[in-house]
Amino acid sequence: MKEIIKGEKVKLENLDQIRLDIFINSHDTIDISCFGVNSEDKLSDDRYFVFYNQKSSPNSEIVNSKNGNIEIFDVKLNLLPSFINKLVFVATLDGAGNFSTIQNSYFKLSSKNNKLFGLVGNGTDEHFNFRFNGSLFEKEKAIIISEMYRKDGVWRLNSFAQGFNGGLSALLKHFGGEEKIEDQTSSTSSTSTKTNLDKKVILEKRVEKEAPQLVNLTKSFITSLDKKQNLKNITVKVALVLDASGSMFGQYQRGDVQLIVDKTMPIALYFDDDGEIETWAFSDTFKRLTTVTTKNILNYINKTDGGYTSWGWFSGNNEPVVMRDIFATYRNSKIPVFVIFISDGGVGYDSLIKSLLIDYSKYPIFWQFVGIGGSNYGILQQLDTLTGRHVDNCNFFALDHIKSVSDSQLYDSLLKELPIWLNDPKVKKML
């Protein structure tokens, strides 16, 4: 067997039927898939996207299976249709980790003896082996492991090992999976639809595995998402701001604030490039809390940073102080930012909040204020008529109680203004 290095290309002459064994040594959950793409590197036929939920291409040209921790792809190169010009083998990582932490991983290419293949015996010839580890990557959450491609009538292997910071979203975009459905012709829209469906399937799978208490919330979120075609293909950073003033104490005690965190998680898992929620709490001052992930969301309010009773404020409201910190955090963001800002009212500093929202309207940050069980929302109730802004960068709605509306209704309200803002030409120029 020949050892190959990153970027090395080798011919697969006279190897019509091959097997690729892929092993990635990681403590995180890794999903490995194969994209069958055309000469333009696009997934023109979604039936040739082979992954855990679609284990085979239409005529079993590509078949995925597992042997313990080893992912296996059996490929009949000679049977692939002519429009499949390349097979790209990719890995995506769930959780807070990244590919810089993987150890002692490899892919191995072997061929079945043509005389024995599918008939008798298990004869194989091992040809190429590529070993890799986290030293090839930094903070990527997705990688292209290897490619097989046609050139001059001969299939070749490229030991690629390229990373993508954006994880699954970046890979889908790379292979044409993030084209907006409304821009597609009827003959090609199914590809985009299927790719988005796969993204939702992956979301559900991750929630079932890492935060099963959120399964029903996630289904409600997906139901709301299905109503908004223009949100299915976007990536936004999701941030959460929690009112920690004295009047909110009862809502913390009753578990209402934990419920808010839970309901925000599916939004971040779908839209955010890292699937996490950067979180703040505020009253007279503010505190940057530990980022919410699927690993720490269970009982987050009571356990994180000593629990909410250790945050130590619970007095008045100073929205501007936390708004300034959020702005400083995201002012140079390369992707849009969606801030969900929870308040139970008693809003002060109306003139300053107005001034800040006007100033911040020139940056790619959208402020979604949500009133929960309070009153006296002040300037927040006037956001629809707020003048002087570069773009309409904020919205407000109030609930009597977080449990007073269904999950689907809440998600509909949270996502109502975001696509309008994202589609503003001025916002696109900011990015």
Residue-wise pLDDT for 362-374, tens only, equals: 999 999 999 998 8
pLDDT band at residue 164 using 50, 70 and 90 as cut-offs: confident
Write the CB contacts of 165 (distance below 8 Å, at least 6 apart in sequence): 139, 140, 141, 273
Report pLDDT for 231: 77
**What's the rounded mean pLDDT across residues 1-6?**
87
Please state which CATH number belongs to domain 2-188.
2.60.60.30
- Say what percent of the chain tops pLDDT 90: 55
Report pLDDT for 115: 36
pLDDT band at residue 182 using 50, 70 and 90 as cut-offs: very low
pLDDT at 193 over 50: no
**What's the rounded mean pLDDT across residues 61-83?**
93
Edge-first strand listing for the sheet containing 237-243: 286-288, 278-282, 237-243, 337-345, 365-375, 394-399
The listed CATH number (3.40.50.410, 3.40.1110.10, 3.40.50.2000, 3.90.470.20) that belongs to domain 211-430: 3.40.50.410
pLDDT at 418 over 90: yes
Q: How many CA atoms lie within 13 A of 190 on its CB side?
A: 7
- Can you give the pTM of this predicted structure? 0.59
Instruction: Give burial (CB, 10 Å; 0-12/13-18/19+) of 183.
Output: exposed
What's the rounded Cα separation, in Å, for the pair 363 and 393?
A: 9
> What Rg do the C-alpha atoms of the chain give, in angstroms?
25
Report pLDDT for 387: 93
**What's the rounded mean pLDDT across residues 201-222?**
87
Nearest 5°: the CA angle 15, 17, 19 is 105
Query: For residue 159, which of 2, 4, 3 has the smallest C-alpha distance?
Result: 4
- For the chain, what are the domain ranges? 2-188, 211-430
Per-residue model confidence as pLDDT tens digits over 294-344:
999 999 999 999 999 887 666 788 999 999 999 999 999 989 999 999 999
Which of 140-149, 324-333, 389-398 shows the lowest mean pLDDT across its residues? 140-149
**What's the rounded mean pLDDT across residues 121-134?**
75
Phi, psi of 376 (to 5 degrees): 55, 65
CB of 35 closer than 8 Å to CB of 88: yes
CB of 330 closer than 8 Å to CB of 241: no
The β-bridge partners of 107 are 22, 130
Q: How many CA atoms lie within 13 A of 115 on its CB side?
A: 0
pLDDT at 349 over 70: yes
